[in-house]
Chain A
Amino acid sequence: MKMLKLRPSEILSMLMGDPQADRVVPPTGFTARLTLFSAGVMAFLAVFAMALSMASGRLAQRWGDELARSATLRISAPQEQRAAQTEAALRVLETTTGVASARALTSEEQRALLTPWFGPDVPVDSLPIPQLIEITEDDQGYDAAGLRLRLSAEVPGAVLDDHTRWRRPLVNAASKLRLLGWLSIALIFAAMAAMITLAANAALAANAQVIAVLRLVGARDTYIAQAFVRRFTLRALAGALAGMALAMLAVALLPSAQDQASFLTGLSFAGWTWLSPLIIPLIAAVVAFVATQAAARKTLKGLR
C-alpha cells in the first residue's frame, strides 16, 4: 500500500519523534514492558547463538586447515635402499586414487624441519633419517587402509602417518553446528517479529477508539501508524540493547579457551567479532519497525 511507504528522511524524523504525535496514543505500560522484556530475551539468546556459530565456525576452519595440510609417508630403510624405496612409494602414490600429488622432500627441507631440534650444523645426509614424502589429498580423499596394504607389499619401509584424518567427521559436525547456530538466529528473529506483531496488534486493538477518532479528525494513515511504529521500534531497540549487553557480559565471563581445540571453552568472540553482536539490536529495531508497520496497515485498512 503506497501511503505507508516511508522515505529515509521520514524514518529519521519519525525516530527523532514528534512529542505532539506521541501524546495522541495513550501510554501502554504493560504491553510496553512485555515488548521490552521479550526483545531483551531474544537479543540475549541471539548473542549466544551467534557466539556458538562463530566458535564452531572457527573450529571447523582450524581443523579444516589441518586436514588440508598433507599427510606424510615416512620411509625408514637402510641408506642404500632409501632411494629405491622412495621411488617405489612415489609410483604407488601416483596410481592411488584420492591422492592429488606426492613429493619427496629435499634434504634441505628435511634439514629445515630438523633444525629446531638439532641445530643448523647437523649433517642430515649422513644421519639415518627417514625420507619424508608429502601427500596432498584431493577432495575425495584416499582409502588409507588400502594404501597401507599396497605399501606394505611394495615398500616395506613405508609408514603412512595420517593422524589428522579422524577429524574429518568432526569438521563436518562443526560446520553443521555453525549452520544450526545461524538458523537459530534466524528463528529467534522470526519469533521476535511474531511477538512484536502480537504486541502491536494488541496495542492497536486496545486503542481502536483512539485510532477511529484520529481518523475522523483528518489524520493520515502515516501519522497514525507512526505513533505506534515509533514506540515499538524504540522499545525493541532498547530491550535488545539491554539483552545484548547482558549476554556479551556473560560470554566475556565464560572461562577462556585453554585448549585451542576444546569447543566448549572456545565459546566466545574473538578479536573484531566482539563487535558483531551490535547488529542484533539494529535487526531487532528493523524487525519491530516492519512488524508494527504491517500490523498498523492491517488495522487501518478496516477503517475508512
Chain B
Amino acid sequence: MIELDNVAYSYGGGELLSGITFGLQPGSFHFLTGPSGAGKTTFLKLCYGALIATSGEVRLFDQDVRSMTRDDVAMTRRRVGVVHQDVQFLDHLPLADNVALPLTVSGRGALDEAANLKELLNWVGLNHRADALPPELSGGERQRAALARAVIMSPDIILADEPTGNIDWEMSQRLLRLLVELNKMGKTIMIATHDLALIRAAKTQVQARVLRIANRQLQLAGADL
C-alpha cells in the first residue's frame, strides 16, 4: 500500500533519514518510536505524500509520489486518514462539521452521512460536544475529534502522529481500543508515539510490530519491550 525504496530525506541541512526501505502490508498494525526529533513526523509525511523524498522512491497505492499531480495528492488524502501531531480545524465551524469536512470537500453530502456522523461522534465520545467550536475543546477532545475526522471517509490506511500526546492514561487506552477496533475491521494502522506503556498495552490486544527510528535508519525493534 505504501512502499519506500531506499528513501532519504533532508530539510536542507544534513540527511535526517537515509536508506530507508519499507513496505506497509494491508491489515498490519505498526508503532513508530524514536527519540524526539528523530524524524517520526517526517517519516509519516513521506508516507502520506506531504513531503517528497530527496532521494529514493515512495509509492502510494502503486503510484510514484513524485509523479502525482495536485489532484492525485488530494485523492490520495481521501484514502489515507491522518491524525496530525498538531491538529488543525476550521475554527469557525462546529465540531460536527469539522469531523464531516472530508465528506464535504469530496462532494459527498454530509446530510446522507448524518447517521454515520452521529455514530462516529458517539464512538469517540464527543456526541455532547458536537456543536462546540474547536477552540472550545480540550486537548484530548481535539485528538479524538481528529481521529474521527481521519476515519470518516473510511480510509484504507490510518496514520496517527502522537494521537495520545495530550491525554491521560484512561483516555489513551480508549483511543487505542478505537484504533485496534479499526484494525480488526481491516484497516492498516501506523501510530507514532513515545509512549512505551501504550505499546505494551496494545500488544495484549493486537499483533503489533514496532519500528524504531535511530541513526537516520528505520529498524524493526525486538519483541522485548
Q: Which residues of A contact B50 (CB under 8 A)?
A: 304
Tell me, in angstroms, the Cα distance from A23 to B82 when the chains sit together.
Answer: 23
Tell me, in angstroms, the Cα distance from A75 to B97 when the chains sit together.
Answer: 94
Smallest CB–CB gap between A176 and chain B, Å?
49
Q: Is the interface of A mostly helix, strand, loop or mixed?
A: helix
Contact B71 A218 (CB under 8 A): no
Size class of A's contact patch?
A: 20 to 34
Tell me whether A24 and B70 are in contact in the complex, defined as CB-CB below 8 angstroms, given that A209-B88, A218-B153, A304-B50 are known contacts.
no
Q: Which residues of A contact B89 (CB under 8 A)?
A: 213
Q: Which residues of A contact B110 (CB under 8 A)?
A: 20
Contact A304 B105 (CB under 8 A): no
Q: Would you call B92 an interface residue if the criterion is a C-beta within 8 Å of the partner chain's C-beta atoms? A: yes
Contact B88 A218 (CB under 8 A): no
Tell me whether A218 and B78 are in contact in the complex, defined as CB-CB below 8 angstroms, given that A24-B101, A212-B88 are known contacts.
yes
Q: Would you call A274 an interface residue if the criterion is a C-beta within 8 Å of the partner chain's C-beta atoms? A: no
One of A43-51, A53-61, A140-148, A219-227 at the interface: A219-227
Tell me whether A3 and B70 are in contact in the complex, defined as CB-CB below 8 angstroms, given that A20-B110, A218-B105, A218-B106 are known contacts.
yes
Interface residues of A in 185-215 (CB under 8 A from B): 209-210, 212-215
Contact B74 A21 (CB under 8 A): no
Q: Which residues of A contact B209 (CB under 8 A)?
A: none
Contact B90 A213 (CB under 8 A): yes
A289-302 vs B, Cβ < 8 Å mask (1 yes, 0 no): 00000000000100
Highest count of chain B CB atoms <10 Å: which of A215, A217, A218, A219 = A217
Write the chain A residue with the least CB distance to B76.
A218
Interface residues of B in 102-121 (CB under 8 A from A): 102, 104-106, 109-110
Contact B71 A24 (CB under 8 A): no
Write the chain B residue with the least CB distance to A301.
B70
Contact B71 A220 (CB under 8 A): yes
Q: Which residues of A contact B93 (CB under 8 A)?
A: 23-24
Q: Which residues of B contact A304 (CB under 8 A)?
A: 49-51, 70, 73
Tell me, in angstroms, the Cα distance from A100 to B97 when the chains sit together.
Answer: 81
Q: Would you call B144 an interface residue if the criterion is a C-beta within 8 Å of the partner chain's C-beta atoms? A: no
Contact B90 A210 (CB under 8 A): yes
Q: Would you call A83 an interface residue if the criterion is a C-beta within 8 Å of the partner chain's C-beta atoms? A: no
Q: Would you call A26 an interface residue if the criterion is a C-beta within 8 Å of the partner chain's C-beta atoms? A: yes
Q: Which residues of A contact B104 (CB under 8 A)?
A: 20-21, 24
Tell me, in angstroms, the Cα distance from A300 to B70 when the chains sit together.
Answer: 10
Write the chain B residue with the least CB distance to A26.
B92
A158-201 vs B, Cβ < 8 Å mask (1 yes, 0 no): 00000000000000000000000000000000000000000000
Contact A218 B102 (CB under 8 A): yes
- From B51, B82, B91, B105, A223 is in contact (CB under 8 Å) with B105
Q: Would you call A68 an interface residue if the criterion is a C-beta within 8 Å of the partner chain's C-beta atoms? A: no
Q: Which residues of B contact A218 (CB under 8 A)?
A: 74-75, 77-78, 102, 105-106, 153
Tell me whether A23 and B97 are in contact in the complex, defined as CB-CB below 8 angstroms, given that A3-B71, A218-B75, A220-B74 are known contacts.
yes
Tell me, in angstroms, the Cα distance from A116 to B71 when the chains sit together.
Answer: 80
Tell me, in angstroms, the Cα distance from A223 to B102 when the chains sit together.
Answer: 12
- From A3, A23, A213, A220, B88 is in contact (CB under 8 Å) with A213
For the A-B complex with A20-B109, A212-B88 known, give 10 more contacts whose Cβ atoms are closer than 8 Å.
Answer: A3-B70, A24-B101, A24-B104, A210-B90, A214-B90, A217-B77, A217-B105, A218-B102, A220-B70, A304-B49
18 contacts between A and B (CB under 8 A): A24-B101, A24-B104, A27-B92, A213-B89, A213-B90, A214-B90, A215-B74, A216-B84, A217-B102, A218-B74, A218-B153, A219-B74, A220-B70, A220-B74, A300-B70, A304-B49, A304-B70, A304-B73
